[in-house]
Structure 1
Amino acid sequence: MNGLPVTRRVMNLSHFLTRNARRLPNHPGLIWGERIWTWAEMEARVTAMAAALAARGAAKGDRILVHSKNCNEMFESMFAAFRLGAVWVPTNFRLLPDEVATLAQDSGAKIFLCHADFPDHAATVRKATSDIDVISLGGGAAGFGNADIDTLIEAHKGAQASAVAVEHDDPCWFFFTSGTTGRSKAAVLTHGQMAFVVNNHLCDLVPATTEEDASLVVAPLSHGAGIHQLNVVARGAPTILLPTDRFDVDEAFRLIERHRVTNLFTVPTILKMLVEHPAVDRYDHSSLRYVIYAGAPMYRADQKVALAKLGPVLVQYFGLGEVTGNITVLPTRNHHIEDGPEARLGTCGFERTGMQISIQDIEGRELPAGETGEICVIGPAVFAGYYQNPEANAKAFRDGWFLTGDVGHMDAEGYLYITGRTSDKYISGGSNIYPREIEEKILTQGAIAEVAVLGVPDPTWGEVGVAVCVLRPGANLDEAELIAWMSEHIARYKVPKRVFFWDALPKSGYGKVPKRLVRDELEARGLLKPATGASA
């Protein structure tokens, strides 16, 4: 075609590790508890793991399912899969055995790397896919699986395993959607796409990062945290894992102080826990330069607390797994503790480098600044599509644009404001209502720590709003008082008709508050019957 090459060969992502081992062989690459692996040690282990998996039949294009807590072997498995040209298929370790078995079937996985703490998952997967090769991670569990990864690594110590040649569109990672609106789908991420994502993240989220930085992992490596750590590896900086799978705020701050951590990726619920814990005042966290949060909205009241405790280090990004987080960024300089024009209250930032946003109506027409519609995006970070799911792909794309399912508007300067999910919107008396703006307002009341607003059926209005709230420690507030307050601060037609106070909101394995789980809990408690509000 016009004399241009027809193939688009790109760097195999495992080369990041090889490069670090050459340039920084004795520099820490991974720290877990008291154990430190240098880049040279990591390269040797990944090479041996790749050789071991290849000896068991793993080849380019094969899927390697991984069900594990954060540990060195899970971290290594990513690069071993990449090196083989295989596809890394990590799961959320909190999933149930039958859910993991479904992912094994949907992905067509050839090998299953399963942490030794999950023998039931291994047994269920093996029963569902009898020809899968089960290999245990994490030691222990005698007789678990067909082999143990550490034994295999030791047996292939010193082996040579060159990175398999890959092209731009060769899959490297199946990134499972959370499944909060139905069955999980495998978003196909590719070597070429992820190389762009790494450069984009380093440009927009953690600029000027070098091997002298350090990153703490406080979320599962199976999803956003894994993508963030790929950026850290690309710069040769060490990754620090929490010593256990239990999130310990005190331990997190201890590690930040000890290792002079400069960046971490988290979600708003975890960030809220970090800055509201007494440990934030006991440890030195002045080394932090970037505390990145994404995955869900962070309410303004919580932003202010985080800025007061940590200083000007917050970075927000908006993105989905399908766009690998690359839609908008709100950098540190755009986070202001004081309200005012510069604070741009409610924005999630502006377009990421190399990406373009369009606000569109249901017909695909682009809307002008200030008008609300679906947030659509194009650019090199957009995934290749859902694996073997043409129906989902047809719904996800229109004229080349990826349809995020999120609703919002852009201002005249290109800052994006998310109103909510298309699936969260409800219609009351003919008016479209988006819960997020109501939730934002409720959190300014002062007594509310967390809130979820959703629409429920109503015989008169079609749907009405219900607010489920969690009070701050020591706060006192009842339904009538909150509704009276809302009536003074929110347009009357948007005020939820019922309010419930719970000890906690249900959360997904990633720290989000899916409205589906809130609705399920309301139904389980018998609270969706037409009635005047009550506490439960």
Structure 2
Amino acid sequence: MNTCAYLEKAARQWGDNLAYVHGADSIDYRGFYDRVLRLAGGLLALGLQRGDRVAYALPNSPRILETVYACFAAGLIVVPINARLHPREMAYIATDSAARVLIYGPTFDEGLREHRALFGTVEHWIGIEPHAGAAVFEEILQSGPRLERPVDVDPTEPCWLFYTSGTTGRPKGATWSHRTTSAVTMNYLADVYNIQPGEVVLHTAPMSHGSGIVAMPVVARGATNAIMDTASFDPKSLFETIERTRTSHIAFVAPTQIIAMLDAFKPGEYDLSGLRAICYGGAPIYVEQLRRAIDAFGPIFTQIYGQGEAPITISGLPASAHRSLIEAGDGRIGSAGQVRTDVEVRIIGPDDEILPLGSVGEIVARGDVVMLGYWNNPEATAETLRDGWLHTGDVGLLDDQGYLYLLDRAKDIIISGGNNIYPREVEEVIVQHPGVFNCVVLGVPHDYWGEAVHAVVMPEAGVELDEQEIIGFCSQYLAGYKKPKSVEIVDELPLSGYGKVQRREMREKYWVGHGRAIGGGGIDQPEHSA
């Protein structure tokens, strides 16, 4: 089934319901579906063929929803690009996916124009507003013959490339089929929050990632996508929007945003009584912070654990469990919840053998929610999808009641404010500095971000470096959230007997007295963990 069929049915059954609202921009489902079919026709009129890739770099807006569903309808593959990336990073994703179209917002025009030569496969530049050398989104939408209906597709056909980095630091395109996106849609409604027609679901996190994925079950139920129109996360604006729109559900927030909401919250200042669910994930949140959040906003939090290779999600902890576990003082509040209804999870050892309950090992998962593989990367696909299982690279355990605990990462990923940052990617930039001999990038504890990027830098002999010079150099190549928050200049890096930098040993000194659990509700491991 074409994922656009969910929108087709919503337009038929709930055509008068508001599909989205973004400032003064709003439309009902009947009008939304018409714009999607027109945009799909306009893209095909450019000469695109079924299976071609369409990338977008857009701030949160309805144009994201229209682009995604137009690609579904036309049998094209959508490639979301994080709007916070550096143009060089955007260019890598566009080129790796061989995107023929790039749809972008006005805030990116200068940077993209400067680096335009790096976007080697892009033939059609489409701006939301008029810009030199680019077509205009609205004109493309109105230019081609409107599709009669979404094209028929095989459920295994790719429809979405979600770029996620690996230990090499190079982003990889996790390939989702229409079956994947359908599983995401149905599983969210079944296990996370059962959205109802006419409800208002608020998007405040980037829609190129988790929040935009949640838009699919919103559309399937004919509910309203309310999109924040602030440039960055602002708790006061969030509260005002919740009150004004009578928001019932926040699609997705990172724990750092929950902390910011707590800092800004004043009882009775805004009417938040309509809120029935807040979905969070992507990083740790400590039990005390979660307890404070429940005291402030009510027992409405639901946690999800997944990754780009198995989107929303592998496991989850619903609002009812948050309430009961907190009240009982149950340590399972520190888990990532129970495995989703139609997902299987195992804990395996070094030789891929299945370990007994309570044993610590790598988390592997399978189900329709798992990606087809990495785009044009058979080696990485073979390594990650072995014997029919997704090897997550996360270390954890399953207890005897099916609760999944995340204890560490087999890969050296840093999660800062809900963003995945891969040390090798940052290291490869730092070592390009002519004064740097070698470096190691680590995640270190941070009260607000959960983890912060910390670089340990060894200069070339006779060269003097300082913190700001390294951070400034990184600014030329990396998104702001990937830059080191701190830099330590050292004479030598510790090496093992094999000549490898002892990354884990270096990291441990920063984490003395801190938990290292990830993605769950707290920092303590269960008493029965190995």
Report the TM-score when normalising by structure 2: 0.78
1:92 corresponds to which of 82, 86, 90: 82
Q: Which runs of 5+ in 1 are unaligned?
A: 1-10, 426-434, 440-451, 455-462, 473-507
Q: Which moved more, 1:128-137 or 1:383-392?
A: 128-137
Aligned residue number for residue 406 of structure 1: 394
2:146 corresponds to which of 123, 147, 159: 159
Secondary structure in structure 1 of the residue aligned to 2:368? coil
| Contact map agreement 1:25 1:39 (CA 8 A) in 2 | yes
Aligned residue number for residue 253 of structure 1: 239
Q: Is 1:12 aligned to 2:8, yes or no?
A: no
Q: Is 1:29 aligned to 2:19, yes or no?
A: yes
Aligned residue number for residue 383 of structure 1: 371
Flag the 1:280–1:387 CA change in 2: closer, same or farther, 3 A. farther
Q: Is 1:310 aligned to 2:310, yes or no?
A: no
Secondary structure in structure 2 of the residue aligned to 1:167? coil
| Contact map agreement 2:322 2:333 (CA 8 A) in 1 | no
Aligned mates of 1:226, 1:525 — CA distance in 2: 40
Give the partner amino acid of 1:380: D
Aligned mates of 2:411, 2:146 — CA distance in 1: 51
Flag the 1:238–1:418 CA change in 2: closer, same or farther, 3 A. same
1:63 corresponds to which of 50, 53, 78: 53
Aligned residue number for residue 191 of structure 2: 204
- Per-residue CA distance 1:206-250 (angstroms, 9 max, x = gap): 12x211211110111111111101110111000011113222211
1:229 corresponds to which of 212, 215, 234: 215
Q: Is 1:220 aligned to 2:206, yes or no?
A: yes
Aligned residue number for residue 93 of structure 2: 103
Aligned mates of 1:322, 1:77 — CA distance in 2: 22
Aligned mates of 1:159, 1:369 — CA distance in 2: 55
Flag the 1:271–1:149 CA change in 2: closer, same or farther, 3 A. same
Flag the 1:304–1:180 CA change in 2: closer, same or farther, 3 A. farther
Aligned residue number for residue 497 of structure 1: none
Shift of 1:148: 0.3
Give the partner amino acid of 2:236: D
What pairs up with 1:144-183 in 2 under 5 angstroms? Answer: 144-145=133-134, 147-156=135-144, 159-178=146-165, 182-183=169-170
| Contact map agreement 1:198 1:234 (CA 8 A) in 2 | yes
1:352 corresponds to which of 340, 345, 348: 340
| Contact map agreement 1:175 1:186 (CA 8 A) in 2 | yes
2:384 corresponds to which of 374, 382, 396: 396
Aligned residue number for residue 301 of structure 1: 288
1:373 corresponds to which of 340, 361, 364: 361
Shift of 1:16: 1.8
Aligned residue number for residue 516 of structure 2: none
What pairs up with 1:497-508 in 2 under 5 angstroms? Answer: none
| Contact map agreement 1:51 1:161 (CA 8 A) in 2 | no
Shift of 1:334: 0.9
| Contact map agreement 1:50 1:161 (CA 8 A) in 2 | no
Give the partner amino acid of 1:150: E
- Per-residue CA distance 1:107-128 (angstroms, 9 max, x = gap): 0111111212212444356413
Q: Is 1:421 aligned to 2:420, yes or no?
A: no
Give the partner amino acid of 2:97: S
Secondary structure in structure 1 of the residue aligned to 2:309? helix
Aligned residue number for residue 330 of structure 1: 317
Aligned mates of 1:150, 1:338 — CA distance in 2: 50
Aligned mates of 1:325, 1:181 — CA distance in 2: 24
Shift of 1:68: 0.8
| Contact map agreement 1:73 1:137 (CA 8 A) in 2 | no
- Per-residue CA distance 1:249-291 (angstroms, 9 max, x = gap): 1111111111111111111111221222135651111111111
| Contact map agreement 2:95 2:120 (CA 8 A) in 1 | no
Aligned mates of 1:466, 1:62 — CA distance in 2: 37
Flag the 1:521–1:70 CA change in 2: closer, same or farther, 3 A. closer
RMSD: 3.1
Give the partner amino acid of 1:217: H
Aligned residue number for residue 505 of structure 1: none
- Per-residue CA distance 1:166-194 (angstroms, 9 max, x = gap): 11110010011156861110000000121
Q: Which runs of 5+ in 2 are unaligned?
A: 424-439, 450-474, 495-505, 511-530
Aligned mates of 2:59, 2:443 — CA distance in 1: 36
Aligned mates of 1:112, 1:190 — CA distance in 2: 21
Aligned mates of 2:367, 2:69 — CA distance in 1: 25
2:122 corresponds to which of 129, 132, 150: 132
- Per-residue CA distance 1:342-389 (angstroms, 9 max, x = gap): 452411111101111101111111111211100111111111000011
Q: Which moved more, 1:110-119 or 1:55-64?
A: 110-119
Aligned mates of 2:215, 2:175 — CA distance in 1: 19
- Per-residue CA distance 1:291-341 (angstroms, 9 max, x = gap): 111111222121111111111101011111101122111011111374645
Aligned residue number for residue 248 of structure 2: 262
Aligned mates of 1:126, 1:406 — CA distance in 2: 37
1:291 corresponds to which of 275, 278, 283: 278
Flag the 1:281–1:369 CA change in 2: closer, same or farther, 3 A. farther
| Contact map agreement 2:103 2:128 (CA 8 A) in 1 | no
Shift of 1:526: 5.3
- Per-residue CA distance 1:63-100 (angstroms, 9 max, x = gap): 00111111121220000011110000010001111111
Report the TM-score when normalising by structure 1: 0.77
| Contact map agreement 1:347 1:418 (CA 8 A) in 2 | yes
Aligned mates of 1:424, 1:279 — CA distance in 2: 38
| Contact map agreement 1:357 1:377 (CA 8 A) in 2 | yes
| Contact map agreement 1:114 1:134 (CA 8 A) in 2 | no
| Contact map agreement 2:204 2:233 (CA 8 A) in 1 | yes
Flag the 1:188–1:125 CA change in 2: closer, same or farther, 3 A. farther
Flag the 1:329–1:51 CA change in 2: closer, same or farther, 3 A. same
Give aligned pairs, total: 445
| Contact map agreement 1:177 1:185 (CA 8 A) in 2 | yes
| Contact map agreement 2:53 2:99 (CA 8 A) in 1 | yes
Aligned mates of 2:22, 2:155 — CA distance in 1: 33
Give the partner amino acid of 1:232: V
Q: Is 1:282 aligned to 2:269, yes or no?
A: yes
Give the partner amino acid of 2:401: E
Aligned mates of 2:27, 2:372 — CA distance in 1: 34
Flag the 1:471–1:39 CA change in 2: closer, same or farther, 3 A. closer
Give the partner amino acid of 1:54: L
